[in-house]
């Protein structure tokens, strides 16, 4: 399965997928991007971190990153994150406005060089 995944450059048989991600050196002077979701809440808290995991929203960060182009084209998809959080935590302070956000870190010799640049990619008002 590992050989098939590597030769086909496929992860269909995860964890027996392509080993290419481990085979090359990374640029030690590159930019690193970290995408996450913040939200305002019903009680007035601003820009709290939304837990993108099984117990927080049931939606993983990788799932959000995998749908990034769709969310950018249609920010109403952020409603799903608010709805998922409410379904898991109906007793908690609910989200009123989720923000898809990205931090961009510049590396220098593999180390963070300066503070990250934060960019808001999309926002939505919960319906």
Predicted TM-score (pTM) of the model is: 0.80
Tell me: the pLDDT tens digits for 32-71? Answer: 999 999 999 999 999 999 999 999 999 999 999 999 999 9
Structure confidence at residue 26 (pLDDT): 78
* 80 contacts 60 by C-beta, under 8 angstroms: no
Digit-coded pLDDT (tens) for 66-117: 999 999 999 999 999 999 999 999 999 999 999 999 999 999 999 999 999 9
Torsion of CA 17, 18, 23, 26, to 10 degrees: -90
Q: Which residue matches tokens 């019903």?
A: 42
**Residues 91 and 116: beta-carbon distance below 8 Å:** no
């Amino acid at each position: 399965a590992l050989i098939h995944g590597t030769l086909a450059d496929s992860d269909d048989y995860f964890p027996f997928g392509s080993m290419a991600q481990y085979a090359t050196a990374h640029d030690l002077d590159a930019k690193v991007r970290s995408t996450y979701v913040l939200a305002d809440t019903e009680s007035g808290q601003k820009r709290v971190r939304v837990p993108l995991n099984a117990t927080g929203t049931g939606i993983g960060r990788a799932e959000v990153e995998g749908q990034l182009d769709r969310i950018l084209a249609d920010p109403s998809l952020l409603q799903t994150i608010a709805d998922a959080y409410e379904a898991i935590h109906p007793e908690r302070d609910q989200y009123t406005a989720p923000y898809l956000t990205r931090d961009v870190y510049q590396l220098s010799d593999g180390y963070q060089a300066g503070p990250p640049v934060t960019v808001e990619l999309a926002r939505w008002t919960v319906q």
